[in-house]
Amino acid sequence: MMQGERAPARRDNFRMAESFEADMIKHPYADQTPAHHLHVYCHKHNTILTLTRPNGNPIMSIGCGQIGFRKAGRSGFDPAYQLSAHVLGQIKEKGLLMEIKRLEVVFRGFGKGREAFTKVLLGNEGRFIKGLVVRVTDSTRLKFGGTRSRHERRLG
């Protein structure tokens, strides 16, 4: 009888573990806090970084023009690199690391700033923040059909 009583208890524990695993597969982030978002908008002429709370309210939004680059100077790799380092420094300086538990990086566009931000995040400047990154997504807008594009400019 003792052996017969233990077997159902083991089965119940096994079923409970199975249901917990199945629940974690269905909802992998159910027990975790929602992530803050760092939007990296890189286009041909500028790079803009926006840090938002999990509900979408912005905390800070900075472009290359706000750190001293003007007109055509905003479009290169170096301004985007300096902007990325500046924003990551501001996050640390303002004490936002205490508030941010998880961070999602959202890229948009295929400008030079995309690569610059990646270099900063993986480099020495991003050592405090890269451990908080839980997801990297791309929300670049792609056109399917639509109106006819302008012709490509040809020089020379």
What is the pTM assigned to this prediction?
Answer: 0.77
In the chain, % of residues over pLDDT 90: 71
64/47 Cα distance (integer angstroms): 6
Q: Which two tokens stand for residue 107?
A: 């890229």
Residue 81: pLDDT above 60?
Answer: yes
Of residues 129, 120, 55, 142, the one with CA closest to residue 94:
129
How does pLDDT run across 25-57, given as a tens digit for each residue?
A: 666 666 678 999 999 999 999 999 999 999 999
Alpha carbons 7 and 15: distance in angstroms, whole number: 12
**H-type helices in the chain, by residue range?**
2-26, 77-93, 112-122
Q: How many CB atoms lie within 10 A of CB 129?
A: 20
